[in-house]
Structure 1
Amino acid sequence: MTQSGAVVLTKDAPTVSLDKHAVTSGLIRVNLNWTSPRATAERQAAPRGWFQRLRASMRASAAKDVDLDLGCMIRYSDGTKTVVQALGNAFGAVDRFPYVALDADDRSGARDAGENLVINLDHQADFSKLLLFVYIYSGAIDFRGLDAVVTLTSDRGDRFEVRLDECPPQGHACAIALIKRQKGELVVGREVRWFTPKDGPAIHDVISRAYRLGMKWTPGRK
C-alpha cells in the first residue's frame, strides 16, 4: 500500500524487501513522530474570542506532555547483542559499533523532527536482527490518541511507514518492526505487537524474551 509516496506496511502487506528497492547501503533513518496532548491543546488555543482563548489556555496548561522513547535491540552475526535508546544514555554511533545511533530524546512530542534512529546499512552484514521498539516513559497510560507513526527513509528518499494503530487499553509498549535477512534479502517486517502491564513490569526484558534476543538488563535512567 502506498500513500504520500511511502510504502505503508499493513496487516495484509506486512513486509517489504529493502533489496528489491535497492536500499542495500548507506544510511536509513527511522523517525518516530507523535501528537502530544499538550501541543494539540496549545494549537486549539489559537486566537479566537477572549473567553474561548482563556478556556483553551487552561486546558493546554492542564494537558500533559507525553514522553515516548524509540529504541532498537540489535543482535549481530557473531552473537553480540546491544540496545540503542535514550535510557541509560545508550545513544550509539553510526560510524563505529553499534552502527546505529539515536539523534535526540524528545520528551514532549512537540519536537517537529520527533526522534530519529539512524542505521548504517554499509554494515548490514554485521546485523542478524534489528528490532525497532517504542514505549511510554511518562505522561500517558497507553498510545491511544497519540497518532504515533514510524517512517523509515533511505538516503535517496525511499519511505516505508508503520502506523502504531489498534492499541489496546494500557498498551504502553510496542514492538514496531523487525529488520532481518530473509531468503538472502534484507526485509523490514511490520510487527505492531503491543505489550501491557500484565505482560510484566520489566518491559525491555519482556520484549527481548518475546523475540528471543537473549539480552540481560540492568536498571537505567535518563
Structure 2
Amino acid sequence: MSFWDGLWRGRSADFESGSAASNSIELTKRHPTVSLTKQGAATGNLRINLSWRMRTSDIGGGERGSFLQNPFKMFKPDVVQAHTQSMVNVDLDLGCMYELTDGTKGVVQPLGSFFGELNSPPYIKLSGDDRFGSGSGETIYVNLDHRESIKRLLVFVYIYDQTPAFDRTHANVTLYPSNGPRIEIGLDERAPQARSCAVITMENVKGEFIVHREVKFVYGFQAELDRLYGWGLQWGRGYKSKADR
C-alpha cells in the first residue's frame, strides 16, 4: 500500500476498502473476514493472484532519508518492479491446500507440478509459476460453481529454495471474484527469517463461503503450515520440473 493510499483509504463498519473507483476490499487485522456469499460472489471462477515487488532499499542499497530532508524524494516510488534475476534472487510461490466435503485432501502448488484441475476435483487450478514477480504474477483459479464440494482451503505463499526474504519483498494476494469487488491482502509484516506464510483460509460454513485473513508467517515450509492448520498430509522434499524453473 502506498503513502497516498494510507492517507485516503476509507473505512466501513464491516471492512476497510479503497475508494469507490478502486472497487476493492482490504482484509486487515481489524477487519479480517468477508463472506463471498453475502457479496453475491460465490459462483463462477474465483481468481487468486500473487504479485510481488522488491523494496528499493534492497535493490538500491540503504533506506532513503526523510522526505523532510529532501522533499522531492517522496515522489519516488517506494518499490521497484523485479523483472530479472540480476535484480533479485527471490522466488515466491503460490499454493493452496484443500479439503473436499468427501474427505479428499491435497495441495495445488508449483513444487512437484501439482497444478490441479478446474472442472473436476479438486476444482482448483494453478495457471503457472512466475519466477521474478512480473506484473501478471501467479494465479490460482477456484471453480465456485462446485462450492458444495469444497469444505475448506488454505492459500499460502512460500519461498522456493532461496534465502528467506519476506522482509525484502512487497507481496500482495488479490482475490478477483466473478462478481463484486476484489479482495486484497497485503503481506507487509516484517518476518525476515520466515519461509512460508498462510495468507487466507476459505471455508464452506453451512453453505456460506467465507474468506478469513490469516497472514501467519512460519519458519518452515508446507509441513509446518499443515501442522498449524491440522491438514494431516504427508510431506517430502520436492522439486520443480525444468519447465517450471
Fold similarity call, TM over 0.5: yes
Residue pairs, 1:60-71, within 5 angstroms: 63-71=87-95
Report deviation, 1:218.
2.7
Give the aligned partner of residue 4 of structure 2: none
Of 22, 27, 43 in structure 1, the residue corresponding to residue 40 of structure 2 is 22
Are residues 141 and 218 of structure 1, via their aligned partners in 2, closer, same or farther at CA, if it must alter by over 3 Å?
Answer: closer
Give the aligned partner of residue 179 of structure 1: 202
Give the aligned partner of residue 49 of structure 1: none
Report deviation, 1:184.
4.0
Q: Can you list the C-alpha shifts for 1:98-151, whole angstroms capped at 9, x where unaligned?
A: 110010100111x21100000000111111110000101144413113110000
Report deviation, 1:187.
0.3
Q: Percent identity?
A: 41
What is the one-letter code of the residue matched to 2:157?
A: V
Give the aligned partner of residue 222 of structure 2: 204
CA distance in 2, matches of 1:16, 1:156: 14
Of 213, 219, 222 in structure 1, the residue corresponding to residue 237 of structure 2 is 219
Report deviation, 1:80.
0.7
Tell me if the contact between 1:180 and 1:187 (Cα under 8 Å) persists in the aligned partners. Answer: yes
Report deviation, 1:167.
2.6
Aligned residues: 198
CA distance in 2, matches of 1:24, 1:141: 35
Of 24, 30, 35 in structure 1, the residue corresponding to residue 53 of structure 2 is 35
Task: Give the 3-state SS of the residue equivalent to 2:224 in structure 1.
Answer: helix
Of 178, 184, 187 in structure 2, the residue corresponding to residue 164 of structure 1 is 187
Give the aligned partner of residue 80 of structure 2: none
| Segment drifting more, 140-149 vs 70-79 | 140-149
CA distance in 1, matches of 2:163, 2:138: 18
CA distance in 2, matches of 1:190, 1:171: 18
Tell me if the contact between 1:179 and 1:188 (Cα under 8 Å) persists in the aligned partners. Answer: yes
Q: Please state if 1:6 is matched with 2:24.
A: yes
Give the aligned partner of residue 7 of structure 2: none
Tell me if the contact between 2:42 and 2:144 (Cα under 8 Å) persists in the aligned partners. Answer: yes
Q: So what's the TM-score if we normalise by structure 1?
A: 0.83
CA distance in 2, matches of 1:2, 1:94: 30
Task: Give the 3-state SS of the residue equivalent to 1:29 in structure 2.
Answer: strand
Report deviation, 1:36.
4.2
Task: Give the 3-state SS of the residue equivalent to 2:170 in structure 1.
Answer: coil
CA distance in 1, matches of 2:207, 2:191: 35
Q: So what's the TM-score if we normalise by structure 2?
A: 0.75
Report deviation, 1:37.
6.5
Report deviation, 1:219.
2.4
Report deviation, 1:181.
2.1
What is the one-letter code of the residue matched to 1:23?
A: A
Tell me if the contact between 1:70 and 1:132 (Cα under 8 Å) persists in the aligned partners. Answer: yes
Are residues 37 and 10 of structure 1, via their aligned partners in 2, closer, same or farther at CA, if it must alter by over 3 Å?
Answer: closer
Root mean square deviation, CA, Å = 2.1
Of 141, 149, 156 in structure 1, the residue corresponding to residue 164 of structure 2 is 141
Q: Please state if 1:154 is matched with 2:177.
A: yes
Tell me if the contact between 2:39 and 2:180 (Cα under 8 Å) persists in the aligned partners. Answer: no
CA distance in 2, matches of 1:22, 1:6: 15
Report deviation, 1:88.
0.5
Structure with the largest fraction of helix? 1
CA distance in 2, matches of 1:17, 1:189: 9
Report deviation, 1:169.
2.6
